[in-house]
Structure 1
Amino acid sequence: MGINFKEAAGVHADTLQLRAERTRILATNLANENTPGFQARDMDFAATLANTQAEAAGDIGGDDEAASMYRVPYHPTRDGNTVEIGVEQAAFSQNASDFQTSLTFVTMRLRGIAKAINGQ
């Protein structure tokens, strides 16, 4: 009998994947801070995670628009760029912290499985 590590990790496997995708989106925003007309994007993490879990459970009705949204700037610029460096850095930092938290939960769960296999 094999171990399904995706089931063993629970929701944190999907969480890590979505956090990595959000990191990519936020890094793109930061890289395009000075690009005229660039529209900053972000992800509604809770809605995307709920959508991913619903798809995994076999429920129909995925909402792909929840995955990516355009960010509305607090202070619009004349060149049409909506990237605000402080907002992006804060979001990136929070996302990195949340990624580390999920990674810690997965690590603890896998250590528990390893102990169970070893009979400890």
Structure 2
Amino acid sequence: MIGKLDDYLRFNETALNLRGQRQQLIASNIANADTPNYKARDIDFNSAMKTAMAQATAQPGEMAKTSTAHLSAKSTGGSGANGIPLLYRNIQQGAIDGNTVDMDAERNQFADNAIRYEAGITMISGQIKSMLTAIQG
């Protein structure tokens, strides 16, 4: 029974986890806007979602990592949590100090990701409400 509930909510749970990771990356970019030679990072959400869903359904007996300090079979250099590759943002406007953070783009990405995160919360809320309706009759 619990396995079926996990399967039912897995897609939105994975999407919210990725949105949360992306929000942290964008916040880090904004925080380092004045750091010399800082390179703005991001993830490709579509490919990250495909990878995360494949990992979630690949081997159900495999233990999940709850900390980035846990050892894994393969190296995750240059990648975020769950082995999602971190990408560098394309330079929109170069800076003399080598920093690639474009504050306008980062603010737009931050707001867009936050709205999509809220939409994911709304989706999960709707799923839970429909389950409660089915249970209560």
If the TM-score is normalised by the length of the shorter chain, which range does it land in? 0.7 to 0.9
**TM-score of the aligned structures, taking structure 1 as reference length:** 0.87
- Going from structure 1 to structure 2, the CA distance change for 1:27 and 1:5 (only over 3 Å counts) comes to farther
**TM-score of the aligned structures, taking structure 2 as reference length:** 0.77
Write out per-residue CA displacement over residues 59-104 of structure 1, whole angstroms, 9 at most, x where no aligned residue.
8xxx957531011211110101000000000011110011111111
Identity %: 28
Correspondence 1:87 to 2:105? yes
Give the gaps of 5 or more residues in structure 2: 60-75
CA distance in structure 2 between the partners assigned to 1:21 and 1:52 by the alignment: 12
Alpha-carbon RMSD:
2.1
1:36 aligned residue: 36
2:119 aligned residue: 101
CA distance in structure 1 between the partners assigned to 2:99 and 2:17 by the alignment: 28
CA distance in structure 2 between the partners assigned to 1:118 and 1:47 by the alignment: 38
Correspondence 1:77 to 2:71? no
Give the gaps of 5 or more residues in structure 1: none
Deviates more, 1:4-13 or 1:25-34: 4-13
Write out per-residue CA displacement over residues 31-57 of structure 1, whole angstroms, 9 at most, x where no aligned residue.
011111111000100000000111122
Secondary structure of the residue aligned to 2:15 is helix
Equivalent residue pairs, number? 117
CA distance in structure 2 between the partners assigned to 1:114 and 1:66 by the alignment: 34
1:54 aligned residue: 54
